[in-house]
Amino acid sequence: LISQYGFDSQITSYIDTLNFYIVPVVNPDGYEYSRSDLRPRTRFWRKNRGKKVCFKDRWHRERCCNGVDLNRNFDFYWGETGSSSHICSETYHGSAPFSEPETRAIRDKLLSAEMFGKVDAFITLHTYSQMWIYPFGHQRRSFPKDVKDLVRIN
């Protein structure tokens, strides 16, 4: 947005008239863990560092996994295409919508009296792969009405 300020009248208007709330890191524990060592399994960690769950795999070996993919822990089409109910999956959606403190904090802030009537958009940077992601991710080839605007400000 900032790079187009003064050059694109629509972007300039957005910046001049809208309030922006920036949360630099929604997943601080996962981010810190991903930077803790150089092995790809660690460097490309995408989930939070939630409670570890151990179980016996089909060969009767103990396997322990942890973390929830916070992008899939919101209530919008929770548990549908693109997410998993298995805790060891990279796309594990959690035990329920908003089961994680990070997603509850975002929900609670956006629904708070302080924010009532002030939120027109919610945009996130998908830091796992450094992509801007806009709706919708629950099905292929399904786009919001304003997808052209979202692509333009990308």
Q: Does residue 101 register a pLDDT over 90? A: yes
Question: Which is nearest to 129 in space by CA: 37, 34, 50, 65?
Answer: 34
Burial class (CB in 10 A: 0-12, 13-18, 19+), 45: buried
Instruction: Give the chain's length.
Output: 154
- Mean of the per-residue pLDDT values of the chain: 86
Contacts of 153 (CB under 8 A, 6+ apart): 1, 4, 11, 14
Task: Fill in the DSSP letter of residue 92.
Answer: B
- For residue 130, what are its two tokens? 């450094």
pLDDT for the residue numbered 75: 93
- Domains of the chain, earliest start first: 2-153 (3.40.630.10)
pTM above 0.85, yes or no: no
d(CA 126, CA 130) in angstroms, rounded, equals: 5
